[in-house]
Amino acid sequence: MRFLLKRLGGLSCAALLAGSVLAVSASAASAAITLHGAGSTLVAPIEAEWAAAWGSATGNSVQYAPVGSGTGYKDVASGLVDFGASDAPLSIYSSPSCNCVQIPWALTATGVGFHVNKIKALRLTGKVLAKIYLGKITNWDSASIKALNPHVHLPNLHISVFWRSDASGDTYAFTRYLSDVNASFARAVGSSTTVNFPTGTGAHGNTGMASAVKSTNGGIAYIAVSYLINDSLPAASIRNKAGRYTVPNISAIEAAARAFGTVPSSDQVTIVDSPSYAKSAYPISTYTYAIVPRNAPQGSWIRSFIGFALSAQGQAFGPRLDFAPIPSQVLTAAQNTLNAVQ
Protein backbone atom coordinates (compact mmCIF):
# COMPACT_ATOMS: atom_id res chain seq x y z
CA MET A 1 0.00 0.00 0.00
CA ARG A 2 1.14 3.51 -0.83
CA PHE A 3 1.63 5.50 2.36
CA LEU A 4 1.91 9.21 1.54
CA LEU A 5 1.60 12.17 3.86
CA LYS A 6 -1.88 13.66 4.01
CA ARG A 7 -2.39 17.40 3.63
CA LEU A 8 -5.18 18.76 5.77
CA GLY A 9 -4.44 22.43 5.34
CA GLY A 10 -5.53 24.95 2.72
CA LEU A 11 -4.20 24.83 -0.80
CA SER A 12 -3.73 27.55 -3.38
CA CYS A 13 -5.01 26.06 -6.59
CA ALA A 14 -5.88 28.76 -9.10
CA ALA A 15 -4.41 26.63 -11.85
CA LEU A 16 -6.46 23.62 -10.77
CA LEU A 17 -9.63 25.65 -10.96
CA ALA A 18 -8.97 27.01 -14.44
CA GLY A 19 -12.00 26.20 -16.53
CA SER A 20 -14.08 25.29 -13.47
CA VAL A 21 -17.81 25.03 -13.96
CA LEU A 22 -18.43 27.24 -10.92
CA ALA A 23 -20.70 30.10 -11.88
CA VAL A 24 -20.60 32.97 -9.41
CA SER A 25 -22.24 36.28 -10.27
CA ALA A 26 -20.42 39.49 -9.50
CA SER A 27 -23.17 40.59 -7.11
CA ALA A 28 -23.13 37.28 -5.21
CA ALA A 29 -19.35 37.20 -5.06
CA SER A 30 -19.29 40.67 -3.50
CA ALA A 31 -21.16 39.43 -0.41
CA ALA A 32 -19.12 36.59 1.05
CA ILE A 33 -21.02 33.85 2.85
CA THR A 34 -20.03 31.01 5.17
CA LEU A 35 -21.41 27.49 4.86
CA HIS A 36 -21.47 25.41 8.03
CA GLY A 37 -21.11 21.65 7.95
CA ALA A 38 -20.54 18.86 10.44
CA GLY A 39 -20.09 15.11 10.55
CA SER A 40 -17.79 12.44 9.19
CA THR A 41 -14.15 12.50 10.24
CA LEU A 42 -13.40 10.12 7.35
CA VAL A 43 -14.24 12.78 4.75
CA ALA A 44 -12.61 15.65 6.67
CA PRO A 45 -9.21 15.53 4.90
CA ILE A 46 -10.65 15.90 1.40
CA GLU A 47 -13.40 18.25 2.58
CA ALA A 48 -10.69 20.59 3.83
CA GLU A 49 -9.12 20.62 0.38
CA TRP A 50 -12.48 21.25 -1.29
CA ALA A 51 -13.29 24.08 1.11
CA ALA A 52 -9.96 25.83 0.52
CA ALA A 53 -10.20 25.54 -3.27
CA TRP A 54 -13.86 26.53 -3.48
CA GLY A 55 -13.24 29.42 -1.10
CA SER A 56 -10.36 30.63 -3.22
CA ALA A 57 -12.57 30.58 -6.32
CA THR A 58 -15.66 32.20 -4.80
CA GLY A 59 -14.46 34.33 -1.91
CA ASN A 60 -16.66 32.36 0.45
CA SER A 61 -15.77 29.94 3.23
CA VAL A 62 -16.81 26.61 4.69
CA GLN A 63 -16.57 25.85 8.39
CA TYR A 64 -16.68 22.09 8.91
CA ALA A 65 -16.70 20.32 12.28
CA PRO A 66 -15.45 16.69 12.10
CA VAL A 67 -17.64 15.47 14.96
CA GLY A 68 -18.59 12.04 13.58
CA SER A 69 -21.29 10.91 11.17
CA GLY A 70 -24.03 10.48 13.77
CA THR A 71 -23.62 13.97 15.19
CA GLY A 72 -23.42 15.40 11.68
CA TYR A 73 -26.78 13.85 10.84
CA LYS A 74 -28.37 15.19 14.04
CA ASP A 75 -26.95 18.66 13.44
CA VAL A 76 -28.30 18.99 9.90
CA ALA A 77 -31.63 17.40 10.85
CA SER A 78 -31.94 19.94 13.69
CA GLY A 79 -31.08 22.86 11.42
CA LEU A 80 -27.83 23.64 13.23
CA VAL A 81 -25.68 23.40 10.08
CA ASP A 82 -26.18 23.81 6.34
CA PHE A 83 -25.07 20.29 5.51
CA GLY A 84 -24.04 17.12 7.26
CA ALA A 85 -21.60 14.41 6.20
CA SER A 86 -22.02 10.72 6.94
CA ASP A 87 -20.32 7.51 5.86
CA ALA A 88 -23.50 5.69 6.87
CA PRO A 89 -26.63 6.11 4.71
CA LEU A 90 -29.77 7.97 5.74
CA SER A 91 -31.63 4.68 6.10
CA ILE A 92 -29.92 3.89 9.41
CA TYR A 93 -31.01 7.14 11.08
CA SER A 94 -34.47 7.43 12.59
CA SER A 95 -34.32 10.44 14.91
CA PRO A 96 -34.59 13.34 14.59
CA SER A 97 -36.47 13.25 11.29
CA CYS A 98 -34.80 14.99 8.38
CA ASN A 99 -36.33 16.06 5.08
CA CYS A 100 -32.95 15.52 3.48
CA VAL A 101 -31.22 13.91 0.54
CA GLN A 102 -27.94 12.02 0.56
CA ILE A 103 -25.35 12.72 -2.10
CA PRO A 104 -22.39 10.34 -2.50
CA TRP A 105 -19.46 12.73 -2.88
CA ALA A 106 -16.38 10.70 -1.96
CA LEU A 107 -15.19 7.10 -2.19
CA THR A 108 -12.61 5.54 0.10
CA ALA A 109 -12.23 2.74 2.68
CA THR A 110 -12.00 1.91 6.34
CA GLY A 111 -8.68 0.22 6.99
CA VAL A 112 -7.64 -2.08 9.82
CA GLY A 113 -4.62 -0.45 11.39
CA PHE A 114 -2.37 -2.34 13.77
CA HIS A 115 0.76 -1.85 15.85
CA VAL A 116 2.87 -4.89 16.61
CA ASN A 117 6.55 -4.05 16.97
CA LYS A 118 8.66 -5.04 13.93
CA ILE A 119 5.63 -6.31 11.96
CA LYS A 120 4.64 -4.24 8.94
CA ALA A 121 2.47 -6.70 7.00
CA LEU A 122 -0.34 -8.85 8.31
CA ARG A 123 -3.14 -10.93 6.84
CA LEU A 124 -6.57 -11.15 8.47
CA THR A 125 -10.00 -12.44 7.53
CA GLY A 126 -13.38 -11.03 8.45
CA LYS A 127 -14.12 -14.03 10.65
CA VAL A 128 -10.87 -13.59 12.58
CA LEU A 129 -11.50 -9.85 12.93
CA ALA A 130 -14.98 -10.58 14.25
CA LYS A 131 -13.56 -12.94 16.87
CA ILE A 132 -11.03 -10.29 17.92
CA TYR A 133 -13.81 -7.72 18.34
CA LEU A 134 -15.97 -10.26 20.17
CA GLY A 135 -13.14 -10.89 22.63
CA LYS A 136 -12.73 -14.52 21.53
CA ILE A 137 -9.19 -14.02 20.17
CA THR A 138 -7.10 -12.08 22.65
CA ASN A 139 -3.42 -12.64 21.76
CA TRP A 140 -1.43 -11.92 18.61
CA ASP A 141 0.08 -15.41 18.61
CA SER A 142 -3.37 -17.00 18.49
CA ALA A 143 -3.45 -20.11 16.31
CA SER A 144 -6.08 -18.47 14.06
CA ILE A 145 -3.85 -15.47 13.30
CA LYS A 146 -0.70 -17.62 12.96
CA ALA A 147 -2.44 -19.84 10.41
CA LEU A 148 -3.01 -16.81 8.19
CA ASN A 149 0.56 -15.53 8.65
CA PRO A 150 2.86 -18.59 8.66
CA HIS A 151 5.98 -16.58 7.84
CA VAL A 152 5.42 -13.84 10.42
CA HIS A 153 6.87 -14.10 13.92
CA LEU A 154 3.85 -13.17 16.01
CA PRO A 155 4.63 -12.37 19.66
CA ASN A 156 2.84 -13.56 22.78
CA LEU A 157 1.24 -10.13 23.13
CA HIS A 158 -2.24 -9.08 24.22
CA ILE A 159 -4.42 -7.57 21.47
CA SER A 160 -5.57 -4.10 22.53
CA VAL A 161 -8.84 -3.51 20.72
CA PHE A 162 -10.01 0.03 19.99
CA TRP A 163 -13.42 1.15 18.77
CA ARG A 164 -15.08 4.49 18.08
CA SER A 165 -16.73 6.09 21.10
CA ASP A 166 -18.62 8.58 18.90
CA ALA A 167 -21.38 7.75 16.41
CA SER A 168 -19.30 6.88 13.38
CA GLY A 169 -19.75 5.94 9.75
CA ASP A 170 -16.51 3.95 9.97
CA THR A 171 -18.16 1.92 12.74
CA TYR A 172 -21.12 1.35 10.43
CA ALA A 173 -18.93 0.13 7.53
CA PHE A 174 -16.79 -2.05 9.79
CA THR A 175 -19.68 -3.64 11.68
CA ARG A 176 -21.69 -4.07 8.49
CA TYR A 177 -18.76 -6.04 7.07
CA LEU A 178 -18.24 -8.16 10.19
CA SER A 179 -21.98 -8.85 10.42
CA ASP A 180 -21.98 -9.98 6.78
CA VAL A 181 -19.18 -12.50 7.31
CA ASN A 182 -19.82 -13.69 10.86
CA ALA A 183 -23.29 -14.66 12.08
CA SER A 184 -22.21 -14.62 15.73
CA PHE A 185 -21.06 -11.01 15.39
CA ALA A 186 -24.32 -10.07 13.66
CA ARG A 187 -26.33 -11.51 16.56
CA ALA A 188 -24.18 -10.18 19.37
CA VAL A 189 -23.22 -6.74 18.05
CA GLY A 190 -24.96 -5.95 14.76
CA SER A 191 -24.22 -2.99 12.52
CA SER A 192 -24.80 0.71 13.12
CA THR A 193 -22.90 3.93 13.77
CA THR A 194 -22.90 3.09 17.49
CA VAL A 195 -22.77 -0.48 18.80
CA ASN A 196 -21.85 -2.21 22.04
CA PHE A 197 -18.58 -4.04 21.54
CA PRO A 198 -18.01 -6.66 24.26
CA THR A 199 -14.30 -5.89 24.53
CA GLY A 200 -11.82 -3.09 24.00
CA THR A 201 -11.52 0.64 24.61
CA GLY A 202 -13.27 3.58 22.98
CA ALA A 203 -11.47 6.40 21.17
CA HIS A 204 -12.97 9.54 19.67
CA GLY A 205 -12.79 10.13 15.93
CA ASN A 206 -10.32 8.78 13.43
CA THR A 207 -7.62 10.97 14.95
CA GLY A 208 -8.19 9.39 18.36
CA MET A 209 -8.19 5.87 16.92
CA ALA A 210 -4.95 6.43 15.03
CA SER A 211 -3.30 7.97 18.09
CA ALA A 212 -4.43 5.08 20.31
CA VAL A 213 -2.99 2.45 17.99
CA LYS A 214 0.23 4.33 17.36
CA SER A 215 0.92 4.59 21.10
CA THR A 216 -0.05 0.98 21.95
CA ASN A 217 2.10 -2.00 21.05
CA GLY A 218 -0.47 -4.68 20.36
CA GLY A 219 -3.16 -2.25 19.25
CA ILE A 220 -5.72 -2.75 16.50
CA ALA A 221 -8.43 -0.41 15.24
CA TYR A 222 -10.61 0.31 12.23
CA ILE A 223 -9.49 3.67 10.83
CA ALA A 224 -10.23 5.69 7.69
CA VAL A 225 -7.37 5.15 5.27
CA SER A 226 -6.21 8.77 4.99
CA TYR A 227 -5.51 8.76 8.75
CA LEU A 228 -3.46 5.58 8.45
CA ILE A 229 -1.47 7.37 5.76
CA ASN A 230 -0.99 10.45 7.90
CA ASP A 231 0.23 8.46 10.91
CA SER A 232 2.30 5.96 8.90
CA LEU A 233 0.37 3.05 10.35
CA PRO A 234 0.32 -0.26 8.46
CA ALA A 235 -3.00 -1.60 7.21
CA ALA A 236 -3.80 -5.28 7.42
CA SER A 237 -4.56 -7.17 4.21
CA ILE A 238 -8.15 -8.42 4.42
CA ARG A 239 -9.34 -11.49 2.53
CA ASN A 240 -12.20 -10.71 0.17
CA LYS A 241 -14.92 -13.02 -1.17
CA ALA A 242 -12.67 -14.02 -4.05
CA GLY A 243 -10.16 -15.36 -1.52
CA ARG A 244 -7.58 -12.65 -2.21
CA TYR A 245 -5.92 -10.55 0.47
CA THR A 246 -6.22 -6.87 -0.40
CA VAL A 247 -5.16 -3.61 1.22
CA PRO A 248 -7.20 -0.40 0.99
CA ASN A 249 -5.37 1.28 -1.88
CA ILE A 250 -6.94 3.16 -4.78
CA SER A 251 -7.16 0.23 -7.19
CA ALA A 252 -8.78 -2.05 -4.60
CA ILE A 253 -11.33 0.62 -3.66
CA GLU A 254 -12.13 1.20 -7.34
CA ALA A 255 -12.58 -2.55 -7.83
CA ALA A 256 -15.14 -2.62 -5.00
CA ALA A 257 -17.07 0.27 -6.54
CA ARG A 258 -17.07 -1.29 -10.02
CA ALA A 259 -18.90 -4.33 -8.68
CA PHE A 260 -22.04 -2.22 -8.14
CA GLY A 261 -23.14 -0.71 -11.42
CA THR A 262 -26.60 0.64 -10.61
CA VAL A 263 -27.57 3.49 -8.32
CA PRO A 264 -30.97 3.30 -6.54
CA SER A 265 -33.24 6.33 -6.41
CA SER A 266 -32.21 6.89 -2.78
CA ASP A 267 -28.55 7.23 -3.86
CA GLN A 268 -27.61 4.69 -1.18
CA VAL A 269 -24.64 2.80 -2.61
CA THR A 270 -23.31 0.17 -0.20
CA ILE A 271 -20.16 -1.57 -1.43
CA VAL A 272 -19.02 -3.41 1.70
CA ASP A 273 -18.18 -7.10 1.18
CA SER A 274 -18.09 -7.00 -2.63
CA PRO A 275 -19.12 -10.16 -4.54
CA SER A 276 -16.59 -12.84 -5.46
CA TYR A 277 -16.32 -11.72 -9.08
CA ALA A 278 -14.73 -8.47 -7.83
CA LYS A 279 -11.44 -10.28 -7.45
CA SER A 280 -9.29 -7.28 -6.50
CA ALA A 281 -11.82 -5.48 -4.28
CA TYR A 282 -11.02 -4.33 -0.78
CA PRO A 283 -13.99 -5.54 1.31
CA ILE A 284 -14.42 -2.54 3.66
CA SER A 285 -14.68 0.12 0.96
CA THR A 286 -17.30 2.80 1.41
CA TYR A 287 -18.94 5.85 -0.08
CA THR A 288 -19.42 8.86 2.13
CA TYR A 289 -22.39 11.19 1.71
CA ALA A 290 -23.25 14.85 1.97
CA ILE A 291 -26.57 15.15 3.81
CA VAL A 292 -28.51 18.19 2.59
CA PRO A 293 -32.02 19.50 3.38
CA ARG A 294 -34.30 19.40 0.34
CA ASN A 295 -35.15 23.04 0.98
CA ALA A 296 -31.80 24.39 2.10
CA PRO A 297 -31.62 28.01 3.31
CA GLN A 298 -28.40 28.51 1.34
CA GLY A 299 -29.32 26.11 -1.44
CA SER A 300 -27.53 27.88 -4.29
CA TRP A 301 -24.25 28.00 -2.38
CA ILE A 302 -24.59 24.40 -1.21
CA ARG A 303 -25.13 23.37 -4.84
CA SER A 304 -22.03 25.34 -5.77
CA PHE A 305 -19.81 23.83 -3.06
CA ILE A 306 -20.95 20.22 -3.41
CA GLY A 307 -20.97 20.63 -7.18
CA PHE A 308 -17.29 21.53 -6.98
CA ALA A 309 -16.60 18.47 -4.83
CA LEU A 310 -18.24 16.30 -7.51
CA SER A 311 -16.40 18.00 -10.38
CA ALA A 312 -13.21 16.69 -11.97
CA GLN A 313 -11.31 19.42 -10.12
CA GLY A 314 -12.75 18.37 -6.77
CA GLN A 315 -12.25 14.66 -7.32
CA ALA A 316 -8.62 15.31 -8.34
CA PHE A 317 -7.75 15.98 -4.69
CA GLY A 318 -8.61 12.39 -3.81
CA PRO A 319 -5.79 10.05 -4.85
CA ARG A 320 -3.07 11.39 -2.55
CA LEU A 321 -5.49 10.97 0.37
CA ASP A 322 -6.54 7.48 -0.80
CA PHE A 323 -9.93 8.62 -2.07
CA ALA A 324 -10.77 6.97 -5.38
CA PRO A 325 -12.55 8.79 -8.22
CA ILE A 326 -16.31 8.27 -8.08
CA PRO A 327 -17.63 6.16 -11.01
CA SER A 328 -19.48 8.10 -13.70
CA GLN A 329 -22.92 6.57 -13.03
CA VAL A 330 -22.71 7.50 -9.34
CA LEU A 331 -21.53 11.01 -10.20
CA THR A 332 -24.49 11.46 -12.56
CA ALA A 333 -26.95 10.32 -9.91
CA ALA A 334 -25.31 12.53 -7.28
CA GLN A 335 -25.43 15.59 -9.54
CA ASN A 336 -29.08 14.97 -10.39
CA THR A 337 -29.97 14.80 -6.69
CA LEU A 338 -27.92 17.91 -5.96
CA ASN A 339 -29.67 19.85 -8.72
CA ALA A 340 -33.03 19.13 -7.05
CA VAL A 341 -31.97 20.87 -3.81
CA GLN A 342 -33.86 24.17 -3.52
Residue-wise pLDDT tens digits, 292-333? 999 998 999 999 999 999 999 999 999 999 999 999 999 999
Q: What pTM did the predictor assign?
A: 0.90
The residue among 67, 77, 102 whose CA lies nearest residue 88 is 102
Exposure string of 139-168, with b = 16+ CB inside 10 Å and e = fewer, is ebebeebeebbeebebeeeebbbbbbbbbb
Say if residue 64's pLDDT is above 50: yes
179 C-beta neighbours (distance < 10 Å), count? 23
Convert the pLDDT of each residue in 195-240 to its tens digit: 999 999 999 999 999 999 999 999 999 999 999 999 999 999 999 9
Q: How far, in Å, CA of 267 to CA of 310, rounded?
A: 14
Helix (H) or strand (E) holding 29: helix 26-29
Confidence category of residue 265, pLDDT binned at 50, 70, 90: very high
How would DSSP label each residue in 107-145?
Answer: EEEEEEEEEBTTB---EE-HHHHHHHHTTS--BTT-HHH
Furthest C-alpha separation in the chain: 68
Q: What is the pLDDT of residues 138-194, one digit of tens each?
A: 999 999 999 999 999 999 999 999 999 999 999 999 999 999 999 999 999 999 999
How does DSSP assign 281-317, residue by residue? --TTEEEEEEEEETT-TTHHHHHHHHHHHHSHHHHTT
pLDDT at 30: 53
Q: For residue 240, what pLDDT is reported?
A: 98
Q: What phi, psi does 243 have (nearest 5°)?
A: 90, 5
| CA-based end-to-end distance of the chain | 42
Flag the least confident range among 91-95, 112-116, 278-282.
91-95
Average pLDDT score over the chain: 92
For the chain, which domains are there? 26-107+288-339 (3.40.190.10), 110-258 (3.40.190.10)
DSSP string for 230-272: HTT--B-EEE-TTS-EE-S-HHHHHHHHHT-----TT-----S
Contact 324, 281 (CB under 8 A): no
